Amino acid sequence: MVAALHPEPCILLLTGGGFNAWMIANHLAARFPGTRILLEQPESKAILLKRRIRRFGWINALGQLATMILSRLGKSFTAGRMIEIAKAHGLSGRLDPRIPIDRVGSLNDPEALEKIAALRPAVIVTVSCRILQKATLAAIRCPVINLHSGINPAYRGQMGGYWSLASGDAGNFGATVHLVDAGVDTGAILSQTRTTPSRRDSLWTYPTLLTAISAEPVARAVEEALEGRLSPIPPTGPSRLWFNVPIWTWLANGLTKGIW
């Protein structure tokens, strides 16, 4: 009697997509054949702006939005550097078309939870996506691992690499792989990796560099989760939540510190 074949465990990547996310997707798929993607649609700029106005006021919200728009434009000029970073780490930011993709409006929608329940993932990895709401996390029955482009807990939130440099803390230019909890980048730490950016790097390429150095740590964390041997460590030390840099702060740091 021939033994039944065991299907590959599902490794589900939750993401909004993009060059950096695809580097991780491709790397995981090469290691774990059961990798697939749940892709959410980006939030509208109007919704994003309204939320930031409530939190920061009109002036700071518009300053952050200006930097975000500039960042999107800047990526077209730094695409070559992003590809160079990926290649230097044996990665590609062009998604392998063989990786299965399901699409949802938001990862916090009931539709997304239905798809997750149907796929029964053994491990979930989040990269470049919305913050998962408490109700979403409560419905997930497997480890949820996040790649954060910053050293936790000192540089939680957005643009952790940039803020470490702008704060004169270049030794903490790095990324964290951690378990996801109800907070913002507050979950127990699985690994942290640090590096030194090139003088050719900037706000547009820092996340790509930090994602590239984290591809293997993410894969290791998935492997450990599958084998039931994750060893999370509670975050310690000063904790701060950072946000997008207003355009005038970005210009000031670029002109006075050479940090673009």
Report CA torsion sign: 175, 157, 58, 18.
positive
What are the start-end ranges of the H helices in the chain? 19-31, 45-56, 58-75, 79-88, 110-119, 134-139, 160-166, 206-226, 247-257
SS3 147: strand
Q: Two tokens at 256?
A: 């006075």
Give domain 11-257's CATH number out of 3.40.50.300, 3.20.20.70, 3.40.50.1460, 3.40.50.12230: 3.40.50.12230
Stated pTM of the model? 0.92
CA distances from 255 to 37, 170, 202, 258 (A): 40, 18, 13, 6
In 3D space, the residue among 125, 100, 251 whose CA is nearest the CA of residue 190 turns out to be 125
Question: What pLDDT is attached to residue 1?
Answer: 37
Taking only the tens of pLDDT, the chain with its 260 residues reads 344 455 799 999 999 999 999 999 999 999 999 999 999 998 877 777 778 788 878 888 888 888 888 877 777 789 999 999 999 999 999 999 999 999 999 999 999 999 999 999 999 999 999 999 999 999 999 999 999 999 999 999 999 999 999 999 999 999 999 999 999 999 999 999 999 999 999 999 999 999 999 999 999 999 999 999 999 999 999 999 999 999 999 999 999 999 99
| pLDDT, position 47 | 78
* 2 SS3 class: coil
- Amino acid 186 reads T
Using CA atoms, how far residue 60 sits from 72, 141, 200, 217, 223, in Å, is 19, 39, 28, 35, 42
* 193 neighbors 221 (Cβ within 8 angstroms): no
Query: Strands across the sheet with 123-127, in order?
Result: 101-104, 35-40, 11-15, 123-127, 144-148, 174-179, 189-194
Cα 179 to chain center, whole Å?
A: 12
Q: What is the pLDDT of residue 43?
A: 81
Give me the pLDDT at residue 77, please.
Answer: 86
Domain borders along the chain are: 11-257
pLDDT at 212: 98
Q: How far apart are CA 59 and CA 61, in angstroms?
A: 5
Amino acid sitting at position 19: F
Cα–Cα distance, 171 to 158 (Å, whole number): 18
